[in-house]
Structure 1
Amino acid sequence: MKRASPPAGPDIEVYTVLVRTALAQSGHLLERAIESTRRALQAREDQARTPGESHSAMHARQHLARVSFVMCERFPNALEQAIAKGADRQQAATRSLFSVQFDELELMDESQLSESVERARARQLLTEAVATPLTELNALMSAAQGQSSVDPGHNPLQPELFLQALQTIVGQMQPSDTVRRDWMTHMAEAMGAELRALYLQLIAQMQESGIKPAGYAVRQQGGNYVYIKPIGEEGHAPGFGPETAPWRMGSAQPTAEAAPTAGPDSTRLTLHQLRRLLTGELTDGPAPEMPFSERFSREFESPPSNVAAPPPDFDITVPAAFEALQEMQQVDHMMKRLGSRGPLSTPAATAIAPRSAKTALGQALSMEVVALMLDNIARDGRLLWPVQQLVKQLEPALLKLAVADPRFFSDKDHPARRLLQEMTDRSLAFDSLEAQGFESFMQPLIDVVGPLTHSPIEDQEPFAHALGQLLDAWATREKKRENERLRAIEALRHAEQRNLLAARMSQEMRLLPQIDAIPAEIARFLLGPWTQVMAQARLSDQSGSNDPGRYREAVDALLWSAQPKLTRINVGRLGRLVPKLLSRLHAGLAAIDYPAAETHKFFELLMQLHQQAFVPGRMEEAASNAPTPPKRSNASTLETDEPWIAPSEAAESGFMGEPSGHQPTSPEDDEARRPATPSAPTLAMDVGTWVTLLVNDKWERTQLSWIGSHGNLFLFTNAYGHTQSMTRRLLDKLIARGTLRVISGQTVVAGALDAVAQTALRNSLETGDGI
């Protein structure tokens, strides 16, 4: 979906001039930030206590001096590209570059991990510097573009985009990891000060031009929006805070889209610790295979191996002993936290009998991650409270499993992880305890989870057994639902194949010379419905005929008979041709179940054309009233990119056409029709995504269960097996109108684990780990 162009007027002219000026002057902004960074590095060099620290600061300063001109020259273009990509992300709703996903950590090396922490730290510094003026600037930018409420996406000068451009330019200079960290630590802070000054200048200029700030829209209980004055003194400025911030999701309350996260003070889990856990570095088993780049570095870039080794009986060096002491202190801290949770954690806590400080830390971290993950899931507002309670009851078993089998975190197909995922994701089908089918959904869950809470957990086997039982129980209940879904998919796949074949036939038919000589309605029929007839015959044919049903032969006959100038010359041929042609046309349209009303309309037009051949006296009058033939240059307008769905296929799949009933007459009416559950609309939906969809003036939860191979057909299935299908165009329109809204863009478990990674990232910032 493309954002509508802002209305023309004096405000938009002011906005355009200011944005262009800011872009043009961004090089000078970076120049000042670089100079501040250079002074900071010089001061660090002067105050260094060791030669190594002094040399590091000097090297970073000198390298910066060498490349500063190139950086300032490239920065405006990098910023312009970041703004363009930022607009695309607003539409595609992709993940921020400044977040970390749990499942990616195992694949990241140390430098990538440090860079993630570095990016987050730089963003934090910018946030603190610009929070207050950015709030007001967002309101003015939205107002200048004719918006009545504030949308941070209308401000192309977001700090995040400046930071992305800066990191792009820094990367192009190819500094070492140490130099890059030294630069970014000071440069982000300096850029924050420069951006604050720029924002204050822009605010003053827009106010002098008479632009009044828009209001922030807050949705009340009844669904209506109330606009409030922008506030920037607390929290993050709209447009530059966490992805879970209420303003980003369009709601005044915390949303259910992102699982809640535990506060940063509740754990000292960091990104580096989390990665060590996922890669198996904190176990006493065989060391995981080292990445090639790291192995090459150690073997060919490390100091010579002929350095004298310590005595064989000197097992633990002083630094190693100190590190072990630190790890045991972390273990104590985490175990105290787990112990404070009550008796749930006691069985797992007593199961720890580590052989080393490293193993103890790995076990404690495993339990900490499980505890945080379950906290996030149990407080997820998308889940009904009975499901939340069952998740809590699984905690003792999962804590034991975390100690016995850490693969639970890194293996997406681990039975325990799949069990959690199945029970939480499937529960999204129900929006209330009274929803049809909820009781029959819950009973197998209760039967399975109960025994697990008291089972001895030594490996994944109890969870694998429970998962099998659960899926079998649900399979019996969902057999009818699955059959209906499969029938709908089969109908849509057939329609998709027919449409693809019909499109190729239409391209070939447009090259026929006589296509320009016939009325537009007849050409449209041939290039549209009749190609569907020929494609259907080809797909259904088992004989191998080149022209099954002789429908292609009918094309030539129809082209000739639709030209009165030709048929008058040979009326006898027309008389012999018409009965056979009409019969062939009726049979073909019946084969695709073409609507009777459209069929009748077409044959009326064709009969009028045929009658002109038998009434010579009305030749001129008929010619003047005849539709204008299409020009070849406009032939593409005779077809539509939308796939055509036969009525039988539409009935089988619940195909939704364009709404023809009541349409909201005002934004307030539209908002009142939306469900209470907020979400971030996105076109980047995957199979399995749950949405709320307005069907016959009622909201219902349904799941995306199939996407056509060419991405232009979508099938949704609800908990009762009822299906709705639609084209890509209609999907876009429904999202734009707010009558289709995404509940969950990823699995509940994946979201909870990503929240754990974000907690670890915040802790890394506070402790300086990786910076």
Structure 2
Amino acid sequence: MDASNTQAFDACLREALAQTREWVPRWLGKLHSTLKDRELSAGQLSEKQGMLQARTTLESHRDLIATRFLAAFAESMENALPHTGTGSRRSPTVSFDELELMGDDQVQETVELARVQQVVKMAVDEELVTLTSRMSGAQGLTVVNPEANPLRVEVIVAALMTALKGLHVEAAVRTRWLQVGAISLGDELRHLYAYLSKQLDRAGVKPAGYVVTQTAAPRRLVAAASPRDEAVSVQEVLVNDNLLTLDHLHQLLVGNLDLNEKSNSKTAVSDNVMGRTLASEVVTLMLKRIAADERLLAPVRNLVQDMKPALLQLARSEPRFFADKQNPARRLLDAITERSLAFTSEMDPGYNPFSNQVRGIVRTLLKPGEDLAERFPSLLADLHRSQAESVAPAQVQARGLAVQTLVRVEQRNLLAERVAAEIRARNDFDKAPGVVRRFLTGPWSQVVAQARLEMSESSPVSPVDSPARRYSDILPDLLWSSQLALASLNRPRLVKVIPGVLRTLREGLDSIDYPREQTEAFFQALMGLHEAAYKTQRSSQEPPPEEEQPSIQPEMDDEPWMQRTEARDSCLMDDVLLDSQLTSTQPAFLETRPMQRQRDWAEVKAEMAVQRTSDLPVGTWVDVLQDGQAMRWQITWASPHGTLFLFTGANGRSLSMTKRGLERLLEQDRLRVVADHGVVDEALDEVARQAWLNSAMAQDKKGP
């Protein structure tokens, strides 16, 4: 990113804070005036009293609201910039799983938040598009990323909600403030966005562009990432999905509706009809989202849509089946969509048997009969069995060996870290030359750790002549003999200890099959130190020569070390071990967005990779560039401490990576996350978000 753009971006954020100190008090003044006007024009006593209470409460809290909002806004703006580019999942405003845990008051607050956001977005549409484009351009992006704008409406409204919720005022008062002040809030933000866009323009920042993409349904061209998409989506909702609101969905999930078919009361019958209707609406929207998910091959999406009659029929008897992750029907849908992520083409090995089995599942589900619910468990068991049988026994054994090997590698590396800490704590460690220190806290800590593991497996008691003891016992002689000032004073001892030290060192390194070529430089340096000490003649009264300064480089690489056989048994990805300068020449994913905002490049890349790695749970599907081709893999195992990962391909092959190797691929854009959550989970989150938008529009129609 150009340095001038960086300065322009930072200056824009500083100006946003300065402007906010001016417009927030102005907005609060407008809100006070509007509340007074509503109070005077109110036709009903209850409405007049409500406006009076809201106005008088505002008078006593104006300064506190302004102070808290500015603090919340500054913090939210700092955290609003995206730190990763790997997430394939759109972060929902309210997730499906969270909704079930909410209380009625929380649901209402969420609806109110949605309404305010929609009113404000309608007021700032054009200005927000322009500012977001400039903000993206200021961060070096050629394609607009809405999240690259830390001043977007969601951030500002969320900061306002945080400030208001921290006040000790009634919820009804906060609601009136938001309802009455939403329009004037939009006006203030419109002026703010226009002012900041002009500032970036004067600074020479070029706007990023919008990518035109083809949506799945309906077929129309839209500007990907444009804030206008939200408005279009809302209008479509009003026409097609007008039934489902967040409150209705919440009632369905928490069981507030009487869904007992045998109930005779009018209320129960009404609840039963409403529950079935809502369940059908959820199923319809869920399948609609899956149908638009282009990560699944088109034939698979069509097969899932063919299941709709069966799922709608099931919704009549089990209206909440989709919310129960243990329900056989939900598990079957999860299994089909999850497995389908393994295939990137209909020509992939294993796709035809899978698609044929799904067709058979659909045929079975569409057969007439009252036993529909009983068919799902057996179909699910058949699907799991066929998937297990599709993997060759040799691949199953290889995967088991890989997991066993990786567990042992992590155990040894963690123990090696403790051994290195013990060595560093020795009184004679800091005086040793850097080459010796690095060797002891690197390869030799692995040697000692391996010996201790083997000893703990064979005997709980440490024999005196055990390798673990001998490998630790040579430390005093090794450290002493490497110090010229000390070893030169006692040549007889030096001559006596050198053979045993060298013999034990080679024995230990051989015990872990450490590459001899990687340690020859150390042995040459060590023998050079010994030779210098032997040839030096001086009395104990002479001042010792200046010692080598402690190395400022890390004494131990954080990359988990593996033996050659361990790398082979765990199917370690070979090219991860190559020098980063070599691997960076591999082609990256062209459509991957560049880094959003650059500080110090090394610092940002390290922060980004660590966060990305921590966000990749077991079950995540990724594409990895190997030999110029994208290969689809799934994380099927992670070591207990998250330092090693095992991937499995659609063909049953295994591939392991260290955390460092995974981070390197992410940094180089050679690994792209396809899905880090279940397809059905994401579809249901979008259903909850749709209900959230419906609620906002319905509330807006009612008016304040």
Whether the TM-score (by the shorter chain) exceeds 0.5 is yes
Q: 1:486 to 1:187 in 2, by over 3 A?
A: farther
CA distance 1:630–1:496, shift in 2 (3 Å): farther
Does the alignment pair 1:645 with 2:565? no
Are the structure 2 counterparts of residues 452 and 521 from structure 1 closer, same or farther at C-alpha, using a change threshold of 3 Å? same
Tell me the alpha carbon deviations over residues 110-164 of structure 1, each in whole angstroms, 9 at most, x when there is no partner: 1111111111111112222222222322343445556666555554333322212
Instruction: Tell me, in whole angstroms, the C-alpha distance in 1 between the residues paired with 2:91 and 2:347.
Output: 41
Residues 355-434 of structure 1 mapped to structure 2, 5 A cutoff: 356-434=269-347
Alpha-carbon separation, structure 1, partners of 2:146 and 2:537: 69
The structural deviation recorded for 1:510 is 0.8
Q: Match for 2:558: what amino acid?
A: D
- Provide Cα deviations, 1:221-277, integer angstroms capped at 9, x if missing partner: 9xxxxxxxxxxxx979857975999xxxxxxxxxxxxxx998442232111111222
Q: Name the SS of the counterpart of 2:474 in structure 1.
A: helix
SS where residue 642 of structure 2 aligns?
A: coil
Residue aligning to 1:3 = none
Q: Distance in 2 between matches of 1:442 and 1:174?
A: 58
Distance in 2, matches of 1:586 and 1:753, equals 60
Q: Secondary structure at the match of 1:702?
A: strand
1:559 aligns with 2:472: no
Residues 488-497 or 710-719, more deviating: 710-719
Paired letter, 1:387: V
Q: CA deviation at 1:453?
A: 2.0
Task: Give distance in 2, aligned partners of 1:757 and 1:614.
Answer: 78
Structure 1 residue 415 displacement after superposition:
0.8
Counterpart AA for 1:592: I
C-alpha change, 1:362 and 1:152, in structure 2 (3 Å) is closer
- Indicate if the aligned counterparts of 1:481 and 1:720 stay in contact, CA closer than 8 A: no
Counterpart check, 1:266 vs 2:240: yes
Query: 1:281 matched to which residue of 2?
Result: 256
- Whole-Å Cα distance in 1 between the matches of residues 405 and 139 of structure 2? 45
Report what 1:688 is aligned to.
619
Pairs within 5 Å for 1:215-226 = 215-216=208-209, 218=211
The answer to whether 1:752 aligns with 2:683 is: yes
- Comparing 43-52 with 96-105, greater Cα deviation is found at 96-105
2:130 — aligned with what? 136
**In the superposition, relative to structure 1, how do residues 192 and 682 fare at CA in structure 2: closer, same or farther (>3 Å)?**
farther
Tell me which amino acid in the other structure corresponds to 1:536.
Q
Correspondences of 1:80-119 after superposition (within 5 Å): 80-87=74-81, 99-119=93-113
Q: Deviations over 1:719-745 (max 9, x none)?
A: 223333333333233223221111112
**Residues 284 and 445 (structure 1 numbering): CA distance in 2 closer, same or farther, change over 3 Å?**
closer
Aligned twin of 2:403: 489
Q: Cα offset for 1:218?
A: 4.0
Say whether the 8 Å CA contact 1:689–1:704 is kept in structure 2: yes
Deviation digits for residues 336-385 of structure 1 (CA, Å, limit 9, x no counterpart): xxxxxxxxxxxxxxxxxxx7222111112222221221222233211123
> 1:574 and 1:217, CA in 2 relative to 1: closer, same or farther beyond 3 A?
farther
Measured in 1, the distance between the counterparts of 2:145 and 2:592 equals: 19
Quickly say closer, same or farther: Cα 1:454–1:97, change in 2 above 3 A: closer
Contact 2:115 2:699 in 1 (8 A): no
Instruction: Report the Cα distance in structure 1 between the residues aligned to 2:566 and 2:530, rounded to whole angstroms.
Output: 34
Contact 1:533 1:588 in 2 (8 A): yes
TM-score by length of 2: 0.85
Amino acid at match of 1:215: A
Question: Which deviates the most, 715-724 or 496-505?
Answer: 715-724
CA displacement 1:39-84 (0-9 Å, x = unmatched):
2222322232321122122211221122111111222211111112
Aligned residues: 663
Q: Counterpart of 2:114?
A: 120
- The 1-side partners of 2:395 and 2:184 are apart by 59
In the other structure, the counterpart of 2:43 is 49
Looking at structure 2, the residues matched to 488 and 26 of structure 1 have their Cα atoms a distance apart, in angstroms, of: 56
Question: Aligned in 2, Cα 1:97/1:113: closer, same or farther, shift over 3 Å?
Answer: farther
1:169-203 deviation digits (Å, cap 9, x = unpaired): 11111332322221112323222111111222223
Residue 130 and residue 663 in structure 1: after superposition, are their counterparts in 2 closer, same or farther (change >3 A)? farther
1:487-546: CA deviation from partner (whole Å, max 9, x where unpaired): 222222211111111111111211222222322111101011111111111111122217
* Aligned with residue 535 of structure 1, among 449, 463, 467: 449
Letter in 2 for 1:756: V
Map 1:467-478 → 2, pairs under 5 A: 467-478=380-391
1:195 maps to 2:189? yes
2:62 corresponds to: 68
Root mean square deviation of aligned Cα: 3.7
Cα distance, 1:98–1:424 mapped onto 2, change above 3 Å: closer
Cα distance, 1:402 vs. partner? 1.0
Give unpaired runs (5+ residues) of structure 2: 215-221, 594-608
Query: 647, 652, 662: which one pairs with 1:731?
Result: 662
Contact 1:44 1:54 in 2 (8 A): yes
1:516 alignment partner in structure 2: 430
Counterpart among 416, 419, 432 of residue 502 in structure 1: 416
Which amino acid is the alignment partner of residue 493 of structure 1?
A: V
AA of the residue aligned to 1:629: E
Shift of 1:399: 1.6
Separation in 2 of the partners of 1:282 and 1:456?
27
* Percent pairwise identity: 35
2:125·2:227 contact (CA, 8 Å) conserved in 1?
Answer: no
Alpha-carbon spacing, 1:202–1:410, altered in 2? closer, same or farther (3 Å): closer
Distance 1:400 1:748, change over 3 A: same
Asked if 1 retains the 8 angstrom alpha-carbon contact of 2:365 and 2:372, the reply is no
Secondary structure of the equivalent of 1:401? Answer: helix
SS at match of 2:562: coil
- Could you list the per-position Cα deviations for residues 565-615 of structure 1 after superposition, in whole angstroms to 9, with x for gaps in the alignment? 444444443344333322322221122221232133322222323333444
| Equivalent residues of 1:262, 1:376 under 8 A apart | no
8 Å contact from structure 2 (residues 88, 673) kept in 1: no
> Can you give the 5+ residue segments of structure 1 that lack an aligned partner in the other structure?
1-5, 222-233, 246-259, 288-314, 317-323, 325-354
Query: Structure 1: how far apart are the matches of 2:566 and 2:27?
Result: 62
Q: d(CA) in 2 for partners of 1:238 and 1:463?
A: 41
Question: TM-score by structure 1 length?
Answer: 0.78
2:412 maps to 1:438:
no
